Chains A and B, each alone.
Chain A
Amino acid sequence: MDERKIVTKNLCAYFGSFQALKNISIEIAPNKVTAIIGPSGCGKSTFIRCLNRLHEVAPHARVSGEVLLDGRNIYEKNISPIEIRRKIGMVFQKPNVFPTLSIYNNISLGLKLNGEKRKSVIEEKVERSLKMAALWDEVKGKLREPATKLSGGQQQRICIARTLALEPEVILFDEPCSALDPISTAKVEETIEILKENYTVVIVTHNLQQAARVADYTAFFLLGEMVEFDRTETLFTVPKDKRTEAYLTGKFG
């Protein structure tokens, strides 16, 4: 069993002529939570958007280098981004439920459009995803109501459930709690803890304490480069790079 779920080799990302990522080579372990930390603008979001091939939809965006999922480069010519995104899901910073759909349909839409036609299977998967996202008890009586009626924290958990319904292999979280209150944040972090049993999780976070709480491994990014990558406890207690230490102790943000 390969130790590494995702391996990037000299990954570079560009917006036109601006290089946002410089030669990132990192190995993401399966069934673990890997956190990406760093100050604003360091390329954290760009990095994970390269993992599910979402970076390339931005105007004038370009990627070079390789990203291997289970050994296969996701940027190969004959692989479509759609396939990749079914295997590597993403939860965004601001909850982005589909506003015109009910709670149930928000979660089932991905399944239906990816070819699932059996109603019983869909119902079962919707329930399972909502349970995994710790939301089932709160919404099971109102599945047909618009998703927009829920609170921010609940909406974010809908987004998580929506991603889980497709049973991806990897889930990317792009600062999922930055728009949430502390109680919702705690619930989301609980969910992430549970998720790693079955999924590989990569989480971008601004919040150092959060990284310390949830992540097994942490990578520190600065100005498009990966400065250091290690087990979380090691990185936080005995960082090897001066810049890492400076960031962790708050010398710059």
Chain B
Amino acid sequence: MKRKVMNNCAMAFCFIAVIVALVPLVSILLDIAIKGGRALNLNFFIHTPRPSGETGGGMANAIVGTLTLIGLASLWSIPLGILTGIYLGEFGSNRFGEFLRVALDVMGGIPSIVIGIFAYIIFVIPMKTFSAWAGGFALGIIMLPVVARTTEEMIRMVPLEIREAAWALGITPFHTIWHIVLRSAVPGIITGIILGIARIIGETAPLLFTAFGNMFWHHSLNQPIAALPLQVFTYAVSPYDDWHRQAWAGSFVMVLLVCIMSIIARLIIERGFTKTSLK
């Protein structure tokens, strides 16, 4: 009898703990959705910022800017991350592999402002200008460890028997990795990429000294470029109410993007989309 009471108490306690944990999350999401939703309109998506007081302003350039920066970051961090992950997953049970893992973990833990300063030194100073390249580089540094570690995990999960089957057919190690192992690991790798992107969508600090932000359209990648988190920051610390409302809208869009990406990542894992032909 006492055990039953204890059991019920423990279960109730767990249940309450979950509710308590969910409260901040739900309240933040609701708050952003309500305040952001109110300020969201078509102008937000197609117009650039207008001075406070003028209607019709938006964050079109920031949305395009964020997408551009994500694109640039992915351009270098995805291939490099996948290759690194393949190395670690297939050949990495040695000293160098361990060192590489530690290095990637450290990389993932560096404060993002420090990454921004690093990108500033590497790109902004020699180029003598803030640029999309610098921003893409900084965001890529944040994304790289996520892609590499996920790729490694997914590759390790491919069972040895499948590899042995390939080796027993006289298939070379390279072909085995390319045609058999990677194919099985693809859904997981895609998930890793999506999670990496979800991570960098909202990164603000590394963009402060690299992309810098722009109230207008950029005309080349060698110029400062707008980004959602930067724009939200600028608007939020400003003294204007209408800009504050737009900052809520920007936050809402970012949160929505992160939610959508996380859900897609989950679906991919659960459905285990697989390709079934060699072509």
Binding site for B on A (CB under 8 A): 52, 54, 57, 59, 82-86, 89-90, 92, 94, 96-102, 105, 108-110, 112-114, 144-146, 159, 162-163, 166
Contacts and interface: CB of A to CB of B under 8 A. Distances in A.
B106 interface: no
Given A105-B277, A112-B278, A113-B179, A98 B172 contact: no
Given A99-B274, A105-B277, 9 more contacts: A82-B170, A82-B172, A97-B165, A98-B162, A100-B274, A100-B275, A101-B278, A102-B277, A110-B169
B276 A102 contact: yes
Contact of A100 (B161, B170, B276): B276
Contacts of B93: 59
Q: Which 3 A-B pairs have the closest CB atoms?
A: A86-B170, A110-B169, A96-B161
B104 to A, nearest CB: 23
Interface in B102-146: none
A56 to B, nearest CB: 11
Contact of B164 (A54, A108, A110): A54
* Most chain A beta-carbon contacts within 10 A, residue among B159, B165, B175: B165
Contacts of A94: 161
Contact of A113 (B171, B183, B184, B274): B171
Given A98-B180, A101-B278, A146-B276, A166 B162 contact: no
B162 A163 contact: no
Contacts of A145: 276
Contacts of A112: 278
B15 interface: no
8 contacts: A98-B166, A99-B274, A100-B180, A100-B275, A102-B277, A109-B278, A113-B172, A159-B165
B167 interface: yes
Contacts of B278: 101, 105, 108-109, 112
A160 to B, nearest CB: 12
A144 B168 contact: no
A97 B274 CA distance: 15
Nearest to A159: B165
Contacts of B166: 98
Nearest to A102: B276
Given A94-B161, A99-B162, A100-B183, A54 B276 contact: no
B169 A89 contact: yes
Nearest to A147: B276
Interface in B180-208: 180, 183-184
Given A82-B172, A102-B277, A96 B162 contact: yes
